[in-house]
Structure 1
């Protein structure tokens, strides 16, 4: 009863209701649920708080900026999806503000804080994943409409749009099994991206469905230097000559590109034809995968659909000035891309 309410943040805290919902109530009391409205009005009576309506209107002034945060712009994969999203944002009449987290969780938070300061209309975020400060991302998404893409973090943002890793890994495992020896799975022990964990389990499930034993080759490495890790650990794996199969499915294309280089340096011929010692496949259809030697068999993610759905959702949130009643999660199927490496 004696608590002093200085501003709406204080009032939201004593209410036990999020700051955006309280702001929404003061803009239009009928726009929130009846039970929420009753809770806010009871707190108004109890604490005798009266907001500064002018300040509220100033804070609600929406910019025409939409933030776009990706893990690492030096990766052509994220550069390509960012270009697609930027184009869609511009076509909708908004200004994209593109920021890279450079693979670092502290930089990811710093990017969001920079965006918070300029009050963007909304934010599209491809989070680092395992390394992200999930609580800080969740707090940001409570203040500013946020949609996640590529990597999911539970309970962060209004929606997540990404790839169906179980479907995509399933189709490439089936293809490799039907055209040669069943694949082993080449991955990092502690991958930074949550998609890698889903692909590991998808590989196990696909092999079990065929009644085959799963073989995981888990290598040391951390961060975003996937090609270096693939080359270094692939060279070691080849030198040990104890592969249970001549077919290797890599968790992502960048690891596969490093492994292709290791095979070349080791004098091994990669491909599906006679005289080939190794078959190598990846996942993602990285922009460089078609230009390796041999070109890389992989699975293409439907990033045009992911980008379009992400932007459509964020624009609807901006237009409605409302939050979704339930967090949306939509996964898009991948497409098998057959090339020379397998």
Structure 2
């Protein structure tokens, strides 16, 4: 754990005024687009306010009036059951602590992410829990520049010195590979979403390392990438037919892997259908292990073995940390914590 001794503070209107040698009244009039300030001075003031991370309007009023007792939560979507469970736990903890929750969604869109961050800041939130899109731009620096506590969840931004809580994807993938090997599988295929985010990247890398650690050479034929729907607005996050199509293509080559590890349980639905159509039995002919432990998984035939994700534990620890940063009972610093998923064995791995 690395501690910072003098973390950022909230920027004030007076900071802008002092930096430019102007009065606070002039700065206030310029930022609120009132008369009595020349166009050139107004532009200078707004540029300086943006540079130092000062956020006007509702946030400025909250600095005068004190805490607004609001926590911002910015997620990529709510179709992901992991985020659904996470936000439910966050809301319970936030309300118990006497705060209200402002929930904003980016829909995996960098522009909507930027708008969500700006909305949270202008709403005068006391702190933010966020899941970044991980696009080319990084609007989250405006949060840290404004001195507002920020805790990231699930996806990391190494360029920011902030707290981060996530599933231990390395351990999860290793447990899955070892479970398949223990049941006699050597030809193991990973089915993952084709999306460049840190969670998917870490699982792909962990899969490769786990195979090699067990003496199984890795090559590209051991991974199947399912086209992502996350960049299509108003589309459901995952559909079984997406995995069905790519896995059908694999099976139609005549290859039947001894085990499939899938990136989410929805992909397991498509996998089951593709296998069933071709007379491939689970678990007799091939093993299947999901990821997520969604409510339907135990009702499949055979019941789907899977990795149960620690959404509640992550939500609890991240929220407690954010609240402590807000009320000053925790030192500003950088805490990174990974929570291991749980291997849930059911019929699809029962060989």
Give the alignment's TM-score, normalised by structure 1: 0.77
> What is the aligned partner in structure 2 of residue 106 from structure 1?
111
- 1:318, CA displacement in angstroms? 0.9
How many pairs align?
300
Name the SS for the 2:348 alignment partner. Answer: coil
Name which of structure 1's ranges 225-234 and 206-215 shifts more when overlaid on structure 2: 225-234
Q: Distance in 2 between matches of 1:283 and 1:297?
A: 8
> What is the aligned partner in structure 2 of residue 221 from structure 1?
227
> What is the aligned partner in structure 2 of residue 328 from structure 1?
335
Are the equivalent residues in 1 in contact too, given 2:169–2:203 (CA < 8 A)?
A: yes
Choose from 251, 256, 266 the match for 2:278: 266
> What is the aligned partner in structure 2 of residue 204 from structure 1?
208
Name which of structure 1's ranges 89-98 and 54-63 shifts more when overlaid on structure 2: 54-63
The ranges of structure 1 where at least 4 consecutive aligned residues each deviate by more than 6 angstroms after the TM superposition are 54-57
1:11-50 deviations in Å (ceiling 9; x for gaps)? xxxxxx9983665997xxxxxxxxxxxxx9xx96x96567
Choose from 59, 62, 68 the match for 2:67: 62
Are residue 309 (structure 1) and residue 332 (structure 2) matched?
A: no
Any stretches of 5+ residues in structure 1 without a counterpart? 1-16, 27-39
1:39-63 deviations in Å (ceiling 9; x for gaps)? x9xx96x9656757x9798451321
Are the equivalent residues in 2 in contact too, given 1:77–1:287 (CA < 8 A)?
A: no
1:81-140 deviations in Å (ceiling 9; x for gaps)? 2111111111111111222222322222222222122111111112233xx354212223
Larger RCO (CA within 8 A; separation ≥ 6):
2
Are residue 96 (structure 1) and residue 101 (structure 2) matched?
A: yes
Pairing 1:1-342 to 2, within 5 Å after superposition? 20=9, 23=12, 48=21, 58-60=61-63, 61-129=66-134, 132-143=135-146, 144-156=148-160, 158-182=162-186, 183-188=188-193, 190-215=194-219, 216-219=222-225, 221-224=227-230, 225-227=237-239, 228-243=241-256, 245-271=257-283, 276-320=284-328, 324=332, 326-342=333-349
Are the equivalent residues in 2 in contact too, given 1:147–1:159 (CA < 8 A)?
A: yes
- 1:330, CA displacement in angstroms? 0.8
Any stretches of 5+ residues in structure 2 without a counterpart? 1-5, 29-55, 231-236
How well do the aligned residues superpose, as a CA RMSD in angstroms?
Answer: 3.1
- 1:263, CA displacement in angstroms? 2.0
Name the SS for the 1:123 alignment partner. Answer: strand
Q: Distance in 2 between matches of 1:262 and 1:163?
A: 29
Give the alignment's TM-score, normalised by structure 2: 0.75
